[in-house]
Structure 1
Amino acid sequence: MQVNLNSTLTCPHCGHEKTEEMPSDSCQWFYDCTNCAAVLKPLQGDCCVFCSYGTRPCPPIQKGDTCCS
């Protein structure tokens, strides 16, 4: 299975979208919106900001794991 490391995050506060490269071996719990400076945190039940606000889930989830390591 090929893992795609690029995901477009959408800020829930201002709607700004930015494509970022995800870390391949860990979760990213915080993300600073480059437009409005809001600090994004994962929604309840998600392991990272990419799973909550991205167009693709984080690499461990893409691989079929239950959560980031």
Structure 2
Amino acid sequence: MVDAINRIGHILGIQTVAEWVENAAVREVLRNLGVDFLQGNGIHQPEPLTVLTEHPLPGQRLKAAVSDRLG
């Protein structure tokens, strides 16, 4: 099913994201299927936002995301 959804997305010109990537085996399967982006604990464990904002990677600048949906 993941392969079919990924193919449909690509046919429509949409980049695809796989969630719940928990280990290297799943990551490899999804890469072989051509999924564009992966997220989950197998990519990186969750951390408090302060870790990112207080210690960004060298050369990394943080950008704020703004949404008009927020009240």
Range class of TM-score, shorter chain: under 0.3
- Going by fraction, where is strand more abundant, 1 or 2? 1
Which is greater in Rg? 2
Higher helix residue share: 2
Give the structure-2-normalised TM-score. 0.23
